[in-house]
């Protein structure tokens, strides 16, 4: 299976006027932001809860705050499965958890 990054790099190398571009997604925030790295729970992966369920009756303030690592990994898996991103930047730790 040829990776989209390899295909696009070859196209760019072969034709300087190529309109190909490389789409990268940076998921390496855990290298700098600690517990906040996975981001706020404004969106969860399909496997997680829906934002509409974020009401005081269902979630406590602590639960609402930031995603946990399994939720973050689910989102990375979803983005990868879409096949739109050519390269995913992530820490060695996150990569190890995903492979």
Task: Please state, in angstroms and rounded to a whole number, the distance separating the CA atoms of residues 80 and 12.
Answer: 23
The DSSP bridge pattern shows strands 24-27 and 87-90 to be: parallel
- 44, part of any domain: yes
The set of residues, in sequence order, having a beta carbon less than 8 Å from that of 32 and lying 6+ positions away, is none
- 82, part of any domain: yes
Domain span holding position 85: 26-98
Give the global pTM.
0.70
Q: What is the residue-level pLDDT of the chain in tens, covering all 99 positions?
A: 789 999 999 999 999 999 999 999 998 888 877 777 787 776 655 666 554 444 555 555 555 677 888 888 888 999 899 999 999 999 999 999 998
Q: Which of 74, 65, 79, 63 is nearest to 97 (CA)?
A: 74
- 8, part of any domain: no
- 19, part of any domain: no
- 72, part of any domain: yes
Per the structure, the count of domains in the chain is 1
- 3, part of any domain: no
- 6, part of any domain: no
- 21, part of any domain: no
């Amino acid at each position: 299976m040829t990776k989209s990054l390899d295909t696009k790099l070859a196209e760019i190398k072969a034709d300087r006027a190529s309109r190909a571009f490389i789409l990268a997604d940076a998921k390496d925030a855990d290298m700098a932001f600690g517990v906040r790295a996975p981001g706020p729970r404004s969106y969860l992966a399909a496997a997680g809860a829906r934002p509409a369920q974020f009401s005081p009756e269902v979630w406590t303030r602590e639960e609402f705050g930031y995603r946990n690592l399994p939720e973050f990994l689910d989102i990375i898996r979803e983005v990868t499965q879409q096949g739109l991103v050519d390269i995913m930047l992530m820490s060695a730790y996150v990569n190890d958890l995903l492979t």
